[in-house]
Chains A and B, each alone.
Chain A
Amino acid sequence: GQNIDQPTEMTATEGAIVQINCTYQTSGFNGLFWYQQHAGEAPTFLSYNVLDGLEEKGRFSSFLSRSKGYSYLLLKELQMKDSASYLCAVRDETGANNLFFGTGTRLTVIP
């Protein structure tokens, strides 16, 4: 079975840094994705980790520890437009590109 946990909601201040955690227990693992989803819109790809460590992409970074079943998404220099839901998804190892999503973390950025 698949179990992916994220906090339901977070609030942070414009200009600050926020870390969104994701823990997973899955029957197989072949990579972890982070997606951003604004209210009423489609999810859009942010990052991908398959090996342990930190991947940096502009203001966003994502970290993975496979031994701990743990990932985080780090958002720096928060902007109001970063208010959205952030979805953690684990790809299984069946050979297909199937993703198992957490329920998402709704981030609110306040002035």
Chain B
Amino acid sequence: EAQVTQNPRYLITVTGKKLTVTCSQNMNHEYMSWYRQDPGLGLRQIYYSMNVEVTDKGDVPEGYKVSRKEKRNFPLILESPSPNQTSLYFCASSLGWTSSSYEQYFGPGTRLTVT
């Protein structure tokens, strides 16, 4: 089944404790992206990647890191989480990034709480 998977789905952690949220897709997609979703703010892009070893900042990259060592995986790293990073996180992927109708496929989400 074609899908985007994220782990963990739920995480409660404490301020400053490094964590990684994994994202994997099995559709051979070139483009991958991370979003956070907060009430009243909608989905905001954190980082994106157009291909292996190519990553760039989105709208809200502060406090996050990413890597794209393999095409299928795009982990999100929080080196020192803070309470303002409590949010619902979505990973997404799409076939490409040109002007075609490359809809993004979203993972199931990771609900992160930082205390």
- The reply to whether B108 and A43 form a contact with Cβ atoms under 8 Å apart is no
- The reply to whether B97 and A95 form a contact with Cβ atoms under 8 Å apart is yes
- Per the bound structure, the CA–CA distance linking A31 and B15 in Å amounts to 39
Q: For residue B97, which residues in chain A have a CB less than 8 angstroms away from its CB?
A: 95-97
Q: Count chain A residues whose beta carbon lies closer than 8 angstroms to a beta carbon of B.
A: 23
Interface residues of A, dominant DSSP: loop
> On chain B, which size bracket covers the interface?
20 to 34
Tell me the minimal C-beta distance from A41 to chain B in angstroms.
7
- The reply to whether A99 and B31 form a contact with Cβ atoms under 8 Å apart is no
Report if B74 contacts A (CB, 8 A).
no
Interface 9-residue window, one of A44-52, A63-71, A73-81: A44-52
Q: Mark B32-68, 1 if CB is under 8 A from A, else 0.
A: 0101000011111100101000001011000000000
Specify which of B44, B90, B104 lies most central, judged by the most chain A CB atoms within 10 Å of its CB.
Answer: B104
- The reply to whether A43 and B106 form a contact with Cβ atoms under 8 Å apart is yes
- The reply to whether B108 and A48 form a contact with Cβ atoms under 8 Å apart is no
Given A42-B90, A42-B106: A101 and B44 within 8 A (CB)? yes
Q: For residue B101, which residues in chain A have a CB less than 8 angstroms away from its CB?
A: 31, 48, 50
- Per the bound structure, the CA–CA distance linking A95 and B96 in Å amounts to 10
Q: For residue A45, which residues in chain B have a CB less than 8 angstroms away from its CB?
A: 103-105
Specify which of B35, B41, B99 lies most central, judged by the most chain A CB atoms within 10 Å of its CB.
Answer: B99
Q: List 15 A-B contacts (CB under 8 A).
A: A33-B104, A41-B108, A42-B108, A44-B106, A45-B104, A96-B31, A96-B97, A97-B102, A98-B33, A98-B48, A101-B42, A101-B43, A101-B44, A103-B41, A103-B42
